[in-house]
Structure formats: C-alpha cells, structure tokens
Structure 1
Amino acid sequence: MSILRPFLSRIIRQGRLTVVAPDGAREEFGRPAPGFPEVTIRFTSRRGMRRILLDPRLGAAETFMDGEMELVEGDIMELVGLIRMNAPWDRGAKLLDKTWLARRAEWVKTRIGSINRQRRARANVKHHYDIGNTLYRLFLDDDMQYSCAWWPRPDMTLEEAQAAKKAHIAAKLALASGQRVLDIGCGWGGMAITLAKLEKVEVLGITLSDEQLALARQRAEAAGVADRVTFELIDYRDLAAREAGRFDRIVSVGMFEHVGAPNFETFFRAVANLMTADGVLLLHTIGRFGGPGSTDAFTRKYIFPGGYIPALSETLAASEKSRLIVTDVETLRLHYALTLRQWYARTLAHEAEIAAMMGDRFFRMWCFYLAGATSAFESGGMGNYQIQFARSRHALPLTRGYMVEAEGDYAAR
C-alpha cells in the first residue's frame, strides 16, 4: 500500500486519480464522474511521495517543480482541479484538516510576512514583476493586463475581455474632462493610457517595478498621450505625503493584494488624503469569500511574498476608519477563472521559450501557480471584488444608470 493511500483516499471521491509508484506499482483513487477529470501521475522517487505527505501543499508544488512527480495522463491543471473539485469551498468542504495550532501558525506567518514597509514592499514587487517583461508578453493580452478580465460573453477573446474590463472600470469612475486621475499599481500602463484615450483626463500611474515603469513610459509615448499620462516609481504612502487632495479619481487594479492586512488602514487613509472632497475610488481586487484567512506557503515562498488576499469584511472595515463611503460593490465570481485558463493555455503554447529563458523548474512552477489559482476561483474560496468608494455622498449620481450608459459608450470605442 502506498504511503499516500490514507491521504488520497480521504480526498479523491469523484473523478479518477491513478498513482504510479517508483517501483511501478499502481493505485487508483475515486471513481469516474461526469465533469471530473481522470489523471495519472508517476513518482520518480519515494522522496517525492514523502514530501507531499509531510506538507501536502508546498510539498506537492516542489515535487512537481523538481520533476519527482510527472503527469502521465492529464496535466497539472487537471490534477489540481480534480483535488479542489472534491473539496468545494461553497459546500463547506476542506482540502486539509489542520489543527487549530497549525491554522494559527499560518495566520501568524501571513501577518508577519505582509507587514510590507516601503523597502520590503519594493523587494516583494521586484520578486514577481521585475523578472522580465518578455515573460509577461508571452501569456498576457496585447495590452498586458495582469488582472481579472471581464467576460460579458463567454466567446470573447482574452483581448476583448480585457478591453471590456477596462471599459467596465472606467464607467464606474464617472470620468469627466479635466479630472486628475491616479492609478495605484499601474502595471505596464494599459489602464492609465486607456483612461486618457476615453476621456480628456490627466493620469498619474505609480508602480514599484522598474521593468513596468520603463515600458509604461514607452507605451504612453507610442500612444501619443505622454502629455497627459505620466508614470512614477513611488510608494503610495510617499505619494500621499506629497500630493494631498490632488486627485479627483483614483483607480487601483490588482494592487491591494500586495498591501498586506497590517497596512489596510494605512492604504485607505492614504487614498482618502490623496482625493479631492468629491473624489471617487474604484478598487479592483482579488478577495476571499467568507472571513479573513492566511496565504498558503507556496504562494508566500514562490509567487507573491508579502501578499495577502483580503476578505470583503476586513477590506470594508479598514475603509471605514477613513470615513470613505462604499457606494457600489460588485462580486466577480468566475471571471478570473476564465482569465487564468487563457493565461495557462498561452503559457503552455510558449513552453519552449519560457523554459529556455527561465528554466524548466520555473516553467513548472508557473504552471502550478496558474493551475492552483484557477482551481481556487472555480472551486475554492476566491473571487474578485470591484468596490467603489466616495468621500462625499453627493459625489455620484443616485442610481447606477450612469455606469451602464458610460460602459456602452466606452465599449463601442
């Protein structure tokens, strides 16, 4: 009997997982079921099997990354999906039964690791975003939007869905000619440039990534909007001390996940200080369903050090301290899963280039990251929130009709 049998027999009930041990022995777990994948994995060493038993999440990732676990039938997306589908969050299922002490230890590690003072925040950004723009060009859309797309139709291309996302967000900002807009965590500049094209606004995009900054500036020049769109390498906290009350509109897409729970109140205080009296903020962030939690060890170590996915409750509670009014909340449930599957397919299509550039271990790590994220949005406890805030209750129209009208106009363009 495999050392993994007690563990896997508790998890895999539907779908079929076949495990081939280093000596060729085979064991099957689960039973075929509609919609559930059938996957076969082979271990090249017993050490790999022990790593998973000792630390199922991080151990599985590193065993796959190191080539000690190979996919014979199916791929890593199907394997991770099979496991997560057998323990869906919305049915109260748990992937792993951890003791209170283990859960508390993960919580403490997450909180300490996400304190994210300025120097640490810069280092964390460099870890993920300064590994080279070439990698991101290979799997993102043409505009290099590295966040959840918006899929009003399932048959859209990734490029269309990302353009729709930008129109969706722009409509919620209630833009008007002459406004000053701040984009916190501007990425490679796509959102800032788009806003300037949609309306005659001035946009400042800020980032902590040297790679993103250089390309964003080039793209603004190429788009002919460099006179109204500028980019700066600066922490939002430092900007708040310098530019109090300057911005009519603030947008932040996919950056709040890097703030860290200990800094949530600091973030909203900075935003409130940066806004005019009639200012509006649109915050687009990954969020966890249910209450606060912790960041898994694989993500902390390899993907987003210092990162933390917030619960809606703790996000809103932190904003209340700065007297920001929540004027609209939208929950995007499966939109990121659709986006991630597109990124995963493009990553696989460019395996040779990525492996040559970053190495085979990195390629497998990246695939595991995208597969795990996809399963978290399809069956786990993750979704996306778009939260609109205002400083004044009079800052926006009383009904949402203005959003619908503006989004139709922007999408048509």
Structure 2
Amino acid sequence: MRGRFNLWTHLVSRFLNRSIKNGSLTLSFPDGTVRRFGKGNPQIAATITRPSTVRRIAFHPDLAVGEAYMNGSLRIDDGDIYTFLELVLRNLGDAKSSPVRRIWLAIRRNTRPFTLFNPKGRAARNAAHHYDLTDELYTSFLDADRQYSCAYFAAADDTLEQAQLRKKRHIAAKLLLQPGQQVLDIGSGWGGLARFLARKHDVSVAGLTLSAEQLKFAQKETLTAGLADKVRFLLRDYRNENRKYDRIVSVGMFEHVGTPHYQTYFDCVARRLSDDGVALIHTIGTSGPPGAPGAWINRYIFPGGYVPAMSEVLPAIEKSGLIVTDVEVLRLHYAETLRAWRRRFLANRARLAALHDDRFCRMWEFYLAVCEAAFRHTGLVVFQFQLAKRQTTVPLTRDYIAKAEGRL
C-alpha cells in the first residue's frame, strides 16, 4: 500500500513539476512529503489530506481537483482557491502533453456524443439541476435584473450593473428592433432581457425556459413591471415552438444544446425566423479546436453542457440556410463578470451556508473560481453570431450598432 501511494505522489509531482514555471506552489501530501514547484510570485501553499485524493488527482485531475476542494481533502493554506487555480491554469502548457491527460481527453472526446445527447426530457432535467435552486443563491451574486451571462465591460471602472446594461443594449442594437415586432427569446432565464427589449423598443416578446423556478420569477417580475401585455413566458423546449418571429435572441442557452443537436437547433431558428428577420445567438465558445466537456462542471454544475469551437457551429448554420451577417468575439468580458460574481458570492457565503451547507458553498466557490481562471488563461471567449435569411437585412457597416447604443 505504501509503495502504491508513493507512485501516485510521484505522478502528481511530475505533472506539477513540468507545469508550474511562473509562480510557485508548495504542496503537502498525506504522508508528510512537502514539495515545491516553480518559483517566484504568487506563492501558493496547499495540502492534500487523503491518500485516495492523491490517486484520484493523478488519474483524473479535471474531475478530482474540484471534488477534493468540495469535500475538504484539498485545503488551501496560503492564498485561496482562485489563486491556486489561476496559478495552475496559467502554467498549464506542457501539462497537456501528460500521457494520462492525453488518454482522458481522448476518451472524453470519443464519448462526447453520448454525454451531450440532450433530448427534450434530459434537457429539462439538466435545466432543473442548475436553475431550480433557491432565490437566495442567485440574488447573492447576480445583479438585480438577474443577468446570468457575460456582461459587456466598456470601461475599466464599470460596475456589474453598468456592464450588464451595456450587454442588453449591445444585443438590442444588433437585433435592429422596430416597434410592434414579435421577438422570441430562447432560454429567457429570469426574463430581464425580454423585459428590457419590450420596455425600450415597444416589441412583444415570448420567452422560453425549461426551469420552473425561472418561469415563476419571470412572470412575477413582468407583472410587477406592468409588462404582462408585452411579455409572456412559457415552460417550453425550443423544439416545440411553432410560431414565426421577426427577431430571435438566445443568450447563454446554446451551451446546453449539445453537439448532436446543433443542426436541429439552427434548423428551428431558421423555421421560426421571418424572411426579413434577424437572430442573435450569444454563447460561450473556445478560440481553439473542438474539445470535450469539462468533467467536473459537467457532473456538478451544468450536466449536458459543452463549450463549442466556432468550427463546430458554422457548419450547422450554413446547412440551415441562415446567413452569418456578423460575428463578434468578446474576450475577457466573462472573466470580469465572473470576478464580480465570485466576490459577491463570497461576501454572502455565511448566509448561503446557513441555507445550504458548506459543501454546497465550496462547490459554487470552486465553480466561479475555475470559470474565471479558465476565461483568463485557457482560450474561453464569448461568440455573438448575428444571423439573417437575406444579405440585405442588415446594414453594410457596423456603425448602426454604436448609434443604436447611443440612443439607448
């Protein structure tokens, strides 16, 4: 047993020794071994308290590190979980060439069609897993409008509220809205964007969600805002919608579609969009090639979720008959959004621990931290695809976007 444990310690140490070059990590193992990797600042110290955790991290780090932090068998002694994750992800480099890591990535890529198969029943269960949680959780870190997607930071001193308002303005400008139009919001969340579009542009909006809790909140807030005659929300899968719309918007939902359903998704958008309509699809993406679902995120946070490469999205758009009229890549905006969310979450952590438990709070702290670090250091971005059926639907230059934002 002792020799076997030393083998796993050796593998973890070798992995970190090859990876950590900028900044230093001092790691204490359960047998009393203390090893230091890298040099310089920041200087992070951590302890693994269980032999089984060392073995699991050596075998499957993408899943086991998050589980260890949730369960308390990974303890951060100097720094916090964000600085630990940022140090590791910023230095990842050669770690991608680890034989064990290559094997796991190959397995995950090959099993991706099964993991991301997302028929209607599973899609509803996946949505409930994440979104049908307590109101107190989401109010602890989101803005008052509950924008649970990448904000748009135009200035270094933008607050979260300002950046989320800029995001809604930016999307509205790209939709080229006209009074009286019918808008479909696929994945409408708590309804903030739908209410903004109806209030500012005098349009009617139908919002689709798979979360019963989001639906209740959205309907209540819409009634309070006096917009019930303009905005309606439905507990409905996008595949079951059958009306035509002048505009279609989808923010932060495409990540849940699943690669086997990309063609179905864009075919639905094409069928539901009028001939002179405009659609705007806002989704997390990767600037690199296609990959595999994040193991820990997929199990604990977003089952069925996947971050697509642009090369995976465009073929489905092309086959649907839609035209890509504009693509914008938002870099680091989500990192800033997540930093604001993480800080607010931590400020309310004690209250949330009383409502849930410490393990739940550690899970969410890890989720917000690892996502922020990933957006800063692993090529994660946000894509905004503007789509139409006709070349002439959208102006020839992008000047109209800034002008529309100015008017708002």
Compared CA separation, residues 100 and 86, structure 1 to 2 (3 A): closer
* Aligned match for 1:102, one of 83, 101, 104: 104
Note if 1:173 corresponds to 2:175: yes
Residue 294 of structure 1 corresponds to 292
Residue 73 of structure 2 corresponds to 68
Q: Aligned to 2:151, what secondary structure does the other structure show? A: coil
Partner Cα distance (1:95, 1:17) in 2: 20
Deviation of the 1:353 alpha carbon: 1.6
Deviation of the 1:24 alpha carbon: 4.5
Q: Aligned to 1:338, what secondary structure does the other structure show? A: helix
Residue 117 of structure 1 corresponds to 119
What is the letter of the counterpart of residue 408 of structure 1? G
What is the letter of the counterpart of residue 358 of structure 1? H
Could you report, residue by residue, the CA deviation over 1:226-251 in whole angstroms, capped at 9, with x for unpaired residues? Answer: 11011000000001xx21xx200000
8 Å contact from structure 2 (residues 45, 78) kept in 1: yes
Deviation of the 1:268 alpha carbon: 0.4
Q: Aligned to 1:71, what secondary structure does the other structure show? A: strand
Q: How does 1:87-236 map to 2 (within 5 A)?
A: 87=92, 94=96, 96-98=98-100, 101-236=103-238
Note if 1:12 corresponds to 2:17: no
Could you report, residue by residue, the CA deviation over 1:162-218 in whole angstroms, capped at 9, with x for unpaired residues? Answer: 011000110000000110001000000000000011111000111000000000001
Partner Cα distance (2:158, 2:278) in 1: 30
Partner Cα distance (1:322, 1:114) in 2: 21
Partner Cα distance (1:170, 1:145) in 2: 15
Residue 392 of structure 2 corresponds to 394
8 Å contact from structure 2 (residues 184, 205) kept in 1: yes
State the percentage of identical aligned residues.
47
Deviation of the 1:97 alpha carbon: 4.5
Note if 1:54 corresponds to 2:54: no
Where structure 2 has 5 or more consecutive residues not aligned to the other structure, the ranges are: 1-5
Q: Aligned to 1:127, what secondary structure does the other structure show? A: helix
Partner Cα distance (2:104, 2:88) in 1: 21
Partner Cα distance (1:212, 1:312) in 2: 29
Deviation of the 1:84 alpha carbon: 0.6
Could you report, residue by residue, the CA deviation over 1:310-369 in whole angstroms, capped at 9, with x for unpaired residues? Answer: 111111111111110000111001000000111111111111122222211111111111
TM-score (norm 2): 0.95
8 Å contact from structure 2 (residues 149, 251) kept in 1: yes
Residue 90 of structure 2 corresponds to 85
8 Å contact from structure 2 (residues 60, 101) kept in 1: no
Partner Cα distance (2:311, 2:104) in 1: 23
Q: Aligned to 1:405, what secondary structure does the other structure show? A: helix
Compared CA separation, residues 95 and 334, structure 1 to 2 (3 A): farther
Deviation of the 1:95 alpha carbon: 7.2
Partner Cα distance (2:157, 2:401) in 1: 23
Q: Aligned to 2:288, what secondary structure does the other structure show? A: coil
> Aligned pairs, how many?
400
Partner Cα distance (1:182, 1:378) in 2: 32
Partner Cα distance (2:258, 2:98) in 1: 25
Q: Aligned to 1:178, what secondary structure does the other structure show? A: coil
8 Å contact from structure 2 (residues 22, 38) kept in 1: yes
Compared CA separation, residues 102 and 71, structure 1 to 2 (3 A): closer
Where structure 1 has 5 or more consecutive residues not aligned to the other structure, the ranges are: none
8 Å contact from structure 1 (residues 110, 306) kept in 2: no
* Aligned match for 2:48, one of 43, 64, 68: 43
Deviation of the 1:48 alpha carbon: 2.1
Partner Cα distance (1:98, 1:377) in 2: 24
**Structure 1 segments (4+ residues) deviating >4 Å:** 95-101
Could you report, residue by residue, the CA deviation over 1:17-53 in whole angstroms, capped at 9, with x for unpaired residues? Answer: 11123354432111004xxx22111222222222211
Could you report, residue by residue, the CA deviation over 1:62-105 in whole angstroms, capped at 9, with x for unpaired residues? Answer: 111111111111011000100011126xxx87375557653332
Partner Cα distance (2:101, 2:352) in 1: 39
8 Å contact from structure 1 (residues 18, 41) kept in 2: yes
What is the letter of the counterpart of residue 259 of structure 1? V
8 Å contact from structure 1 (residues 87, 95) kept in 2: no
Compared CA separation, residues 96 and 207, structure 1 to 2 (3 A): farther
Deviation of the 1:151 alpha carbon: 0.2
Q: Aligned to 1:282, what secondary structure does the other structure show? A: strand
TM-score (norm 1): 0.93
Q: How does 1:368-407 map to 2 (within 5 A)?
A: 368-407=366-405
Comparing 292-301 with 169-178, greater Cα deviation is found at 292-301
Partner Cα distance (1:351, 1:95) in 2: 37
Partner Cα distance (1:96, 1:252) in 2: 38
Compared CA separation, residues 172 and 98, structure 1 to 2 (3 A): farther
8 Å contact from structure 1 (residues 183, 205) kept in 2: yes
What is the letter of the counterpart of residue 297 of structure 2? T
Deviation of the 1:16 alpha carbon: 1.0
Deviation of the 1:109 alpha carbon: 2.8
Q: How does 1:18-33 map to 2 (within 5 A)?
A: 18-33=26-41
CA RMSD of aligned residues (A): 1.6
